[in-house]
Structure 1
Amino acid sequence: MLNDITELRTFVRIALSGSLSAAGRDMDLALSVVSKRLATLERKTNTRLITRNTRQLSLTEEGASFFERAQRILAEVDEAEASLTHGSVEPQGTLRVSAPVALGRAHVGPVCRDLARAYPALAVELSLSDRMVGLIDENIDVVVRIGMPRDSALVMRKLADNHRVIVAARAYLEANGTPLTPADLPQHQCLHHGALRVAWRLVGAHGETQEISIDSRLRSDNGEVSLDWALAGCGLILKSWIDVEADLRSGRLVRVLPEWRSEDAPVCALFPSKRLVPTRVRLFLDAMAARLESVRIA
C-alpha cells in the first residue's frame, strides 16, 4: 500500500531526469535516499518499475504505465494543496484530449491553444482520430465525440446540440441542379465514407422520416477528404452542422433540402469520473461548451 507521496514524487523525478543521480540533484537528496525510496516503492507495489545498468535507466512496461498515472495523481494533489493555500488554483500537468478530425481542427484545437496560452503550467496533448479511443487504456483525460456515447461506464457531458445537414458547393448545384425532395438524392453524386452503399436517414420539419439509399463514385475513410471533395464541387455531403458552419457562413457551401436533417447527434465529452475531475479537465469542458454555444446551430 502506498502511504508516502514522497516515494511517488521521487519515482516521477527519476523518470523525468533519466537517472537516480540526476533526480537526487534535482531534489537536493543523497543518491542513497533516492535509491532507497525507489526500492521501497517497488517493494510496496511488488513491481519492477525501472531497469538500470551502469550506463542507462529505462522504465519497464509497468513502470511506464505507472509513471503516467503517477503524474496525474501528483498534479491533482498539487492542485488541491494550492487551492487550500491560495483559495484558487490554476491548472497544471498535461491535459490529454481526443477528438474527431474535423471537429478537432475547427473547435477543439483552438480551445486547447487558448488554454495553453492562458495557463503557463498547463501542457496539452491533442489527438485527432475518427475512431473511438479508450480513455483508460490510452491514457486520455477527455474524449470529445459527435453522437450519444455507447459506453455507460464513462461520464458524459453534452457540450452542444447538433445534427447533420446536406450541403454542396454552389458550383455543383449550378452544374447539376438542386434536389427538391429526398427522393431526388439518388440521382446526384453523394459523398460519404465507408461502404459502397449507405442510407441517409433524414427527419423532416414535422418529424416525418425518410431513409434514402445512397451510392457514390467517390468514397473515402476520412471525413475531411470527403468535405474537400464537396468544397471542390464533386457532390452532396451529409455533415455535422458544427463541422460545416464556417463554410456555410462564408458561402463556400450551400444548405440543400433545408427542411430535412439527420436525427440529433449532440457533441459530447466523455471522461472517467464525475467524483474527481482535475481542474484542467473542468476548464477544458467549460471552454468547449462556451465555444460551441457561440456557433449558430440551425
Structure 2
Amino acid sequence: MDQVHLMNVFVAVGEEESFAAAARRLDLSPAAITRAVSALEEQLGVKLLLRTTRNVRMTEAGRRYMDDSRNILASIVEANEAAAGVNSAPKGNLSVTASVLFGKAFVMPCIVRFLEMYPEVDVSAYFLDRVVNLVDEGMDVAVRIGHLPDSSLKALRVGQVRRVLCASPEYLAKHGVPQHPADLLRHTIIAASGISPRVEWKFGAVDDPTMVRMRPRLMVTSNDSAIDAAIGGLGICRLLSYQIATELGEGRLKIILAEYEEAPWPVHVMHRESKFGSSKVRNFIDMLVQHLRAHPHLSMPMGVSRSEIMN
C-alpha cells in the first residue's frame, strides 16, 4: 500500500483512538482501516497500537511514529502547496498563541493588520497564561517569554522584558520606599497567579541570587487583578515590565528596587520547523517579528525613564 496513505490512516486512528471513528473521518470502511494499520505494522516490524474490545492505545513506538508521521504529512502538504503556487497568496487558517496580556497588547494589533491585508486568511488566536505545545495542539506560531528549553522548533528573538516590582505613588508615600529586598517583609504584598500561601521572590545575579520568602496579603489568579490592586494603593506586586507599561507612563505605578532585578527575560517568536514554510505562516511571522522588534516596550535593553523608578 501507499506509504502516505498508511501514515494518514495511522494518524487518524491514533488521534481518534478508535478504528471506527477513523473510518468515518477518512470515509473508509472499518475493514480497510484495519488492513492499513496491519500492513503498516508488518512493514515496520513493530507493534504500533494495542487493541482491546473497548479502546485503542498506542505503544511507545507508536507514539514516536505518530509524531514523525504528522511532521512528514505536514511537510508533504506544504510542499504540494508550494509547487502548486498556493504560496503566492496567503490563505487558510492560521493558529497563533501567546500569554493573555501580551497577546492583547502586542499580538492582536498585528493579527488585525494581517487579516486586513490578506482576506483569504482566517486566524484562531489562543491567548492563554500557560505553555501551549505547538505540535500537540496544532499551533502555527507562538510568542514565548523566558528562556527556552532545547527544542526542534524555530525561535526568533524579538526583544526582552524585565521582571519588576511596582507600587502606586500613594502607597509608597504612605509606607515608604523599600531600599533592599529584605525590606519587603515589612510591606503589603500582592501576588499574581500563585497557588501557595507563601511566595519566594528571587533577586540579583543568577550565580548569587537573593531569595526573599513572603506571605502575600492578596493572592490573585490574574495579572490584571494584581495591577488593579496595586494601582488602588493596596501594596507591592511583581510583574513583567510590558504588563504595566501604560501605568508607568501615566504615573499610576512606580518601579522600585530596580537595581536588584534579575537579568531580563528574552521574548521569542516560535514556529514549527519545516523545510517548506506556508505563505500564511511566513508572512505573518515576518510581520510579527518586525512589529515586536520595533516596539519600545520590548527593546533590548528596555528603556525606563528615571521618573518611573523610585529609589
Q: TM-score, normalised by structure 1?
A: 0.69
Q: CA separation in 1, counterparts of 2:163 and 2:222? A: 17
Other structure's SS at 2:276 match: coil
What is the CA-CA distance between 1:224 and the residue it aligns to? 2.5
Corresponding position of 1:237: 237
Corresponding position of 1:188: 187
- The answer for unaligned runs of 5 or more in structure 1 is 5-36, 48-65
| Percent sequence identity over aligned pairs | 27
Corresponding position of 1:133: 132
1:17-56 alignment runs, 5 A limit: 46=36
Corresponding position of 1:252: 252
- Determine if the alignment matches structure 1 residue 262 to structure 2 residue 262: yes
Q: Name which of 82, 85, 93 aligns with 1:82.
A: 85
- Determine if the alignment matches structure 1 residue 220 to structure 2 residue 220: yes
What is the CA-CA distance between 1:123 and the residue it aligns to? 0.8
Q: CA separation in 1, counterparts of 2:97 and 2:197? A: 28
Q: CA separation in 2, counterparts of 1:252 and 1:126? A: 30
Q: Deviations over 1:244-280 (max 9, x none)?
A: 2222122222111232322331112232214333222
Q: CA separation in 2, counterparts of 1:253 and 1:45? A: 66
What is the CA-CA distance between 1:116 and the residue it aligns to? 1.0
Q: CA separation in 1, counterparts of 2:126 and 2:35? A: 31
Q: Deviations over 1:121-144 (max 9, x none)?
A: 111111111111222221111221
Change in Cα spacing, 1:43 to 1:208, as seen in structure 2 (3 Å) is: closer
Other structure's SS at 1:219 match: strand
Other structure's SS at 1:224 match: helix
Contact kept, 8 Å, 2:187 with 2:235, in 1: the verdict is yes
Corresponding position of 1:173: 172
Other structure's SS at 1:184 match: helix
Corresponding position of 2:296: 295
2:152 corresponds to which letter in structure 1?
A
Q: CA separation in 2, counterparts of 1:232 and 1:75? A: 51
- The answer for unaligned runs of 5 or more in structure 2 is 6-25, 38-68, 304-311
What is the CA-CA distance between 1:147 and the residue it aligns to? 0.6
Corresponding position of 1:197: 198
Q: CA separation in 1, counterparts of 2:175 and 2:274? A: 51
Q: CA separation in 2, counterparts of 1:76 and 1:251? A: 52
Contact kept, 8 Å, 1:79 with 1:90, in 2: the verdict is no
Corresponding position of 1:273: 273
Q: CA separation in 2, counterparts of 1:237 and 1:45? A: 60
What is the CA-CA distance between 1:2 and the residue it aligns to? 6.8
Change in Cα spacing, 1:185 to 1:176, as seen in structure 2 (3 Å) is: same
1:250 corresponds to which letter in structure 2?
E
Corresponding position of 2:151: 152
Contact kept, 8 Å, 1:71 with 1:93, in 2: the verdict is no
Q: CA separation in 2, counterparts of 1:128 and 1:288? A: 15
Q: CA separation in 2, counterparts of 1:183 and 1:203? A: 13
Q: CA separation in 1, counterparts of 2:134 and 2:227? A: 28
Other structure's SS at 1:166 match: strand
Change in Cα spacing, 1:157 to 1:247, as seen in structure 2 (3 Å) is: same
Other structure's SS at 2:161 match: coil
2:241 corresponds to which letter in structure 1?
W
Q: CA separation in 2, counterparts of 1:266 and 1:165? A: 14
Other structure's SS at 1:259 match: helix
Change in Cα spacing, 1:232 to 1:82, as seen in structure 2 (3 Å) is: farther
What is the CA-CA distance between 1:190 and the residue it aligns to? 2.0
What root-mean-square deviation, in Å, do the aligned CA atoms of Structure 1 and Structure 2 show?
3.9
Q: Which has the larger displacement, 161-170 or 279-288?
A: 279-288
What is the CA-CA distance between 1:71 and the residue it aligns to? 9.4
Q: Which has the larger displacement, 261-270 or 137-146?
A: 261-270
Q: Deviations over 1:196-251 (max 9, x none)?
A: 222221227xx964222232021123223222222322222221122222221222
Q: CA separation in 2, counterparts of 1:221 and 1:120? A: 37
